[in-house]
């Protein structure tokens, strides 16, 4: 699992920004007054950007992608590409990241946030922008991918430029076509399914008071243990319990009921049930939990959003390994059966 290298942004990034703003405004970096002028400039810029939701959500999605890519387990290097000075005599746009995989292949990634309904709208770039990003990839001799986050569905799609078709002065891709060309498997993404429902029982400590107020619905008890069930079967394995808690919290399944378990007036515990959306389970014995990348994204959103969905952070100091969902290659379990689907793009990388 790759880890983020330690940096000192307070020392180096602030000084680099200071010298650039001094140069831009013809200020003497050795003059103490220049510090105050730069700080005033920064205050104005930050107050303006504080209201720029497109910038806030766009930057958070960039940071989220780096965590997703690092957590999926196929990368050995993820490097921000669009930082630092650049000199060029051509029209170029610099992608967000350079990625090197464990199989030694590498590519550039331009990350995009798409917040419209994917089935009713077509994602597109201007021809000028599209060609400028491709031109950069040609100059540095590294292939390019576009990582598009369809936020309405919480889906990541990784696309090669040839997935886009020229329409007038734009390059566009329909969502259904993008699904066929999705290369997230390159990074280690999988689609997971299991047998519903998932139940979590918070069991009260029998040695402590445990009461339910029927009038208010409030409970007062000490949790002794948590029992996990899949399709009515008790889950006892440590890996299975770890996964079932992840699925309950971060998968596409929803909490459908919360019920107290009583013996007389004694509160034995509370049962939380999680099930796939819709009225009925599938007939094949398993239901889709979502992509691993989507679950990681849900984790990331949970720590960067307030309870009402407002973005309160763009980046995090947490290591990527704390977001990873590790499932052994030889995983088999009767308690928590998993179906793992590796979806290969029509034109994806061959060496996966």
Could you list the pLDDT tens digit for every one of the 352 residues in the chain?
A: 788 888 888 888 899 999 999 999 999 999 999 999 999 999 999 988 887 888 899 999 999 999 999 999 999 999 999 988 899 999 999 999 999 999 999 999 999 999 999 998 999 999 999 999 999 999 999 999 999 999 999 999 999 999 999 999 999 999 999 999 999 999 999 999 999 999 999 999 999 999 888 888 888 899 999 999 999 999 999 999 999 999 999 999 999 999 999 988 889 999 999 999 877 899 898 999 999 999 999 999 999 999 888 899 999 989 999 999 999 999 999 999 999 999 998 764 444 4
Distance CA 339, CA 289 (A): 10
Query: pLDDT at position 15, please?
Result: 93
**201 within 8 A of 267, measured Cβ to Cβ:** no
Query: pLDDT at position 350, please?
Result: 47
Listed residue (226, 196, 200) closest to 336, CA to CA: 196
What is the radius of gyration, based on Cα positions, of the chain? 24
Distance CA 158, CA 118 (A): 15
User: Which single residue is written with the structure tokens 């034109």?
Assistant: 347
Helix axes 238-250, 292-304, angle to 10 degrees: 70
Listed residue (312, 316, 294) closest to 250, CA to CA: 294
User: Which single residue is written with the structure tokens 């936020």?
Assistant: 151
Domain spans in the chain, listed from the N-terminal domain onward:
12-187, 191-341
Residues listed for the chain: 352
- Say if residue 335 is exposed, middle or buried (CB neighbours under 10 Å; 0-12, 13-18, 19+): middle
Distance CA 24, CA 19 (A): 9
Query: pLDDT at position 32, please?
Result: 92
Query: pLDDT at position 10, please?
Result: 84
Listed residue (167, 115, 107, 165) closest to 137, CA to CA: 107
Helix axes 32-49, 12-24, angle to 10 degrees: 100
Hey, what are 350's tokens?
């061959």
Ordered strands of the 170-173 beta sheet: 123-126, 170-173, 165-167
Query: pLDDT at position 352, please?
Result: 44
pTM for this entry: 0.90
Architecture, CATH, for domain 12-187: 3-Layer(aba) Sandwich (3.40)
SS (H, E, C) the chain: CCCCCCCCCCCHHHHHHHHHHHHHCCCCCCCHHHHHHHHHHHHHHHHHHCCCHHHHHHHHHHHHHHHHHHHHCCEEEEEECCCCCCCCCCCCCCCCEEEEECCCCEEEEEEEEECCCCCCCCEEEEHHHHHHHHHHHHHHCCCEEEEEEECCCCEEEEECHHHCEEECCEEEECHHHHHHCCCHHHHCCCEEEECCCEEEEEEECCCCCCEECCCCCCEECCEEEEEEEECCEEECCHHHHHHHHHHHHHCCCEEEEEEEEEECCEEEEEEEEEECCCCCCCCCCCEEEEEHHHHHHHHHHHHHECCCCCECCCCCCCCHHHCCCCCCCCCCCCCCCCEEECCCCCCCCCCC
Residues 6+ apart with CB under 8 A from 210: 204, 219, 220, 221, 222, 266, 267, 268
């Amino acid at each position: 699992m790759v880890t983020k290298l330690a940096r000192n942004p307070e020392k180096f990034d602030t000084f680099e920004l200071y010298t650039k703003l001094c140069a831009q405004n013809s200020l003497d970096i050795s003059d103490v007054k220049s510090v105050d002028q730069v700080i005033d400039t920064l205050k104005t810029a930050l107050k303006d950007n504080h209201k720029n939701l497109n910038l806030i959500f766009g930057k958070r999605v960039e940071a989220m992608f780096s965590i997703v890519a690092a957590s999926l387990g196929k990368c050995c290097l993820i490097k921000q590409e669009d930082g630092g000075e650049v000199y060029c005599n051509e029209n170029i746009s610099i992608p967000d990241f350079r990625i090197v995989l464990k199989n030694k292949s590498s590519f550039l990634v331009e990350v995009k946030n798409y917040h419209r309904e994917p089935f009713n709208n077509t994602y597109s770039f201007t021809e000028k922008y599209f060609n400028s990003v491709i031109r950069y990839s040609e100059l540095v001799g590294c292939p390019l991918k576009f990582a598009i986050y369809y936020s309405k569905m919480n889906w990541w799609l990784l696309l090669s430029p040839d997935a886009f078709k020229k329409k007038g002065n734009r390059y566009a891709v329909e969502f259904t076509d993008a699904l066929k060309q999705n290369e997230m498997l390159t990074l280690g993404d999988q689609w997971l399914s299991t047998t519903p429902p998932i139940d979590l029982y918070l069991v009260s400590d029998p040695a402590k008071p445990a009461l339910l107020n029927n009038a208010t619905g409030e409970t007062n008890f000490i949790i002794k243990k948590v029992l996990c069930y899949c399709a009515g079967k008790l889950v006892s394995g440590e890996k299975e319990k770890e996964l079932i808690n992840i699925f309950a919290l971060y998968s596409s399944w929803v909490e459908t009921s919360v019920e107290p378990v009583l013996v007389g007036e004694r509160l034995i515990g509370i049962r939380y049930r999680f099930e796939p959306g819709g009225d009925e389970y599938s007939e094949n014995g398993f239901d889709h939990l979502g992509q691993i990348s989507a679950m990681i994204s849900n984790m990331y959103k949970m720590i960067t959003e307030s309870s009402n969905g407002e973005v309160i952070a763009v980046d995090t100091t947490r290591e990527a390994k704390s977001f990873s969902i590790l499932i052994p290659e030889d995983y088999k379990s009767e308690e928590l059966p998993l179906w793992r689907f590796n979806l290969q793009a029509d034109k994806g990388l061959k060496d996966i």
